[in-house]
Amino acid sequence: MARTVNTSHFHARRRLLLGAGALAALAACGGSGSSTAAHVKDRQVAVAPGVSLHVRDWSAAPGSGGDADADVIVLLAGLGANAHAFDSLAPALARRHRVLALTRRGYGQSGKPLSIGADAYAPATLVADLLAVLDALRVERIILAGHSIAGNELTLFAGSHPRRVRGLVYLDTTFDYLASGGYEEPEATPFDEPPPGPADLASLAASIAYAKRINKQWWPALEANWRDALDLQPDGSVRPTTPPAIARAMDMAAHDFSPDYRRVRAPALVVTVDPGTLRNLFPWLLQADPATQAGAQALLDFIRPLRLADGDRLAAALPGSQHLVIHNGFHSDFFIEYESTVVDAIEAMRWEGLQ
């Protein structure tokens, strides 16, 4: 290809516009489609002076036999997404576990500090926030699952607090963003999602219609996540809840971080997604002109083996890990489209944790 592509950035930056980030969709053959299938409680948990996190807390299903402490699963969303990204996966897991889905600072209903130092959105700060949530809720040990950019937090938390982690689930994450080039200012390409125009931001309904046009699927969890990423203005228009400066700070901090897998002692499940088709990488290009589609296909062919190799590298860095490859999946919603596969893989793990 004529243009060099930093594939480690691709999925992190393959996000819906408006700062809404790698949102999780409920796909046709996947999730339950309802967050009411299990009891959920929304909490605001203070993690630092003036900063609280939105936490969705699903109780384990009655009679599941799960232990209130030993069987807690914590879900961390991808870049820009919020706790509602797991409105399908969490209830499915709550059939046997207590499940906590967190919105990291800067997004959704969580606090958005603007000026508390250069490290306000660094992985170490996000890990400290997670620890504060667990302490506040008196949760001792967890199975920690993270999508996309959240892999940084999984590795750092497990290495820093090994006695709090029973296991890790890497949901289509990247091995090392910094080693792959670190943060780069986004450059426009012919394959990017079409940006929203003024009419797309004129109302919530218009913004949802726009989002539907650039996504593979559109289901309740995706819409809940989208709504939680937007502020409704007095004139009926919408804008992101995340200020651009915060979105950029989070993006920079995530891509300039190098995980230390040598410190991880917990068993891990590594899930890697092979997109397979244009619909799973560029759903908004399905009606594009032939030349653009040909270029997109060339990029897909370039990315696929690199993504699979990146997953292999991550699994190799975590001795004893299990590696699941999901073919023909969309990075943003595979854990819903293939929900039963993901849940079964999590349930099949032997979460023995630190000995």
CATH of the domain at 178: 3.40.50.1820
Residue 319 confidence (pLDDT): 92
Residue 139 confidence (pLDDT): 97
pLDDT beyond 80 at 184: yes
**Residue 237 falls inside a structural domain:** no
**Residue 80 falls inside a structural domain:** yes
Q: How many domains does the chain have?
A: 1
> Mean pLDDT over all residues of the chain?
87
What's the rounded mean pLDDT across residues 230-239? 96
**Residue 228 falls inside a structural domain:** no
Tens digits of residue pLDDT in 251-299: 999 999 999 999 999 999 999 999 999 999 999 999 899 999 999 999 9
**Residue 161 falls inside a structural domain:** yes
**Residue 209 falls inside a structural domain:** no
pLDDT beyond 70 at 201: yes
Residue 61 confidence (pLDDT): 66
Residue 65 confidence (pLDDT): 57
- Residue with the bigger pLDDT between 344 and 37: it is 344
Residue 24 confidence (pLDDT): 32
pLDDT beyond 60 at 159: yes
Residue 20 confidence (pLDDT): 37
Tens digits of residue pLDDT in 80-93: 999 999 999 999 99
- Residue with the bigger pLDDT between 8 and 187: it is 187
**Residue 248 falls inside a structural domain:** yes
**Residue 208 falls inside a structural domain:** no
Residue 6 confidence (pLDDT): 52
Band (pLDDT 50/70/90 cuts) for residue 66 is low
pLDDT beyond 70 at 144: yes
- Alpha carbons 35 and 40: distance in angstroms, whole number: 8
Residue 93 confidence (pLDDT): 96
Q: What is the dihedral of CA 37, 46, 120, 87, to 10 degrees?
A: 0
Residue 63 confidence (pLDDT): 63
Residue 354 confidence (pLDDT): 46
Residue 129 confidence (pLDDT): 98
Residue 17 confidence (pLDDT): 36
Q: Which domain holds residue 307?
A: 7-193+242-348
**Residue 69 falls inside a structural domain:** yes
Residue 1 confidence (pLDDT): 32
Q: What is the dihedral of CA 171, 346, 36, 56, to 10 degrees?
A: -60
What's the rounded mean pLDDT across residues 179-196? 86
What's the rounded mean pLDDT across residues 213-239? 92
pLDDT beyond 50 at 203: yes
